[in-house]
Amino acid sequence: MPNIKSAEKRVRVSAKRTLRNASLKSALRTTLKKFETTLAQNDLEQARVALSIATRALDKAATKGIIHRNAASRKKSRLTKRFNKIAANQ
């Protein structure tokens, strides 16, 4: 344990932020999985809605520093690409 008052505060702040980041990252993964399941069921309308929700969640995660903005952009691109591929086959 730290002895200095400011170091003690950093430990508290770090623990709080770690908990928040883990929670938001878990929610992001859940959102992405919901898109995956709707896409697997070939329900295009639900998949379109899930894609927009997933895109928004990725943008928010990037804004809050949960994931890097380039990683968010890459994930959005891959999700959209998969959706368009299945939509073209229907």
* Structure confidence at residue 1 (pLDDT): 84
Within-domain flag for 70: yes
Within-domain flag for 47: yes
Rounded CA gap, 27 and 57, in Å?
A: 9
Cβ-based neighbours of 76, under 8 Å, separated by 6 or more: 54, 55, 58, 59
Within-domain flag for 72: yes
Mean pLDDT, rounded, for 51-75: 97
Within-domain flag for 58: yes
Domain encompassing residue 82: 28-89
Q: How many domains does the chain have?
A: 1
pLDDT single digits (tens) 24-54: 999 999 999 999 999 999 999 999 999 999 9
Within-domain flag for 1: no
**Cβ distance 11 to 2 under 8 Å?**
yes
Residue 84 has pLDDT above 90, yes or no: yes
Mean pLDDT, rounded, for 11-31: 97
Within-domain flag for 81: yes
Within-domain flag for 73: yes
